[in-house]
Structure 1
Amino acid sequence: MKREHGIGDRLFDLFVYGILLFLVIVTLYPLLYVLFASFSDSGQLIGHKGILWKPLGFSLEAYKSVINNPGIGIGYRNTLFILFFGVIVNLFMTALGAYVLSRKNVLWNNAFMMIIVFTMFFSGGLIPLYLVVKGVGLLDSLWSTVLPFAISTFNLIIMRTSFMGIPDSLEESAKIDGANHFTILFKIIIPLSMPVIAVMILYYAVDKWNGWFYASVFIKSRELFPLQLVLREILIANATDSMSAGASAGDRHQIGETIKYATIMVATVPILCVYPFVQRFFVKGVMVGSLKG
């Protein structure tokens, strides 16, 4: 029998929808502000105060300056290198670690897991990490942002929990047929864990795309700067004069403001475009990786 909603229930629903709508606006507006500002006329934007509901005028000068800036192209190239090889290394190492730790017959399995979880809360610090990276010859190299961070403990736990939810009978049948551990992992475990793999790809890709801190510590050559370091330089160091060459000092300041917003959009939009393709796996993968086991 259907339960009829009274006035109290409807008021509560309206209240919940109002809260959700408010959260959506608060979350979405900063991105819309940057988008509108990036297409605005620099002179009008400088004189504008308050909320921005639409582009002030319409200008593509900021995007032209961003596209013509060689630093942006170099940053994209370096970031794509870090993203591609970083995600491959992350997935491979995380899958290997999760497979070993999810097996029930591994000696001292729980002890190893406790030690790994310990690293989530305590670490040697930045200086020992810097000395290790320098000692192995990775300093001022793009690999310094990939190899030292091959495994995320949080992602390892999620993938391990997902692997533990796969029936043991599948592994036993494969062993009877002569399959080794690599065959079991790459032909049975991983194909059955694609939702979690998709979530891992998203987690690692976003981390690599947005990473700037360790790159700023380990990389000194400008030709190796990833995109986020270039963006940081433009936003914090106000390095926009070279992108608005030919303009007067006052015009350079005005154009520089819109260049900052355009650079943010250029650096943000690609990773936003990836999310819809993995969204259908996201909730399922997180729930499977978090609850099974």
Structure 2
Amino acid sequence: MSEHVFPVIILTGLSGSGKSSGLKIFEDLGFFCVDGLPVSLTPVLIKLFAGQAETRYRGLALGMDVRQEDLDREWGEALAQIKTRSADIQIVFFEADTKEIIRRYATTRRPHPLESGGHGLERAVQVERERMSPLRDAADLILDTTNFSIHDLRRSLQEKWSFLSGKSGHLKIHIMSFGFKYGPPAEADLIFDLRFLPNPYFDTALRPLSGKDPKIARYVLGGEPGCTFLERFSDFLLYLVPLYALEGRYRLAVAVGCTGGRHRSVAVAEAVFDRLSKAGYTVSLEHRHIDKD
């Protein structure tokens, strides 16, 4: 799949096998996602997107299943039309063994779309397999999710479309500075206490400044232990972040704190933000308590 072509992904398969979860994953990857669109309207939607939404979205992901009554009749014709409008279309077919699908429906207590007075759940799954076989035969990727967790599913799709993530993965990192006297951020995944670093607060000339000022940065990080700490802390995060990305995380919030959240934590947060950004990661920065004192 080319990086320069607007991808169209069709997600289909057996009910209860993970298609809806797959659509959510593509939505988090920056795709425009539609579930349950009539097959006959699919080429129309793709035409509307051509050249208009490509700057806003990274692709188009469409969910199709047996709830769409025209799926059997119009699938072949619609697929031919889609391929004339998109040079980069791929079909992902989700399936699982019958016992696992029955177990999932028993857990959610939702009815299968083909269950009726004449069909129990097991028979409904069998009928659906038969009806969906043409889509399975046309699939570029078949995912058997019988033994998948949501993390396994996410990893499988991210690996298939890895170019969408680039060097740094799709993981977004949010760096926060804060003051312990005001409390750590509730949304933080990782919290680091920086109160061992030199404190500019006790220098009356530096006290009015914040960690954004180069004078504060030099005071906190220009000598020891600040200099060595910053190197090791940055290396630690550069080691850690890819491991979180492999687990399918979309966002990682890293909080660094000092007493008041104005000097040491701000200086470190600014330096870490700079290093992670230069390493190719998508990073945002927030100074939670910089103006409290």
Larger helix share, 1 or 2: 1
TM range (shorter): under 0.3
Greater relative CO (CA pairs within 8 A, separation 6+): 1
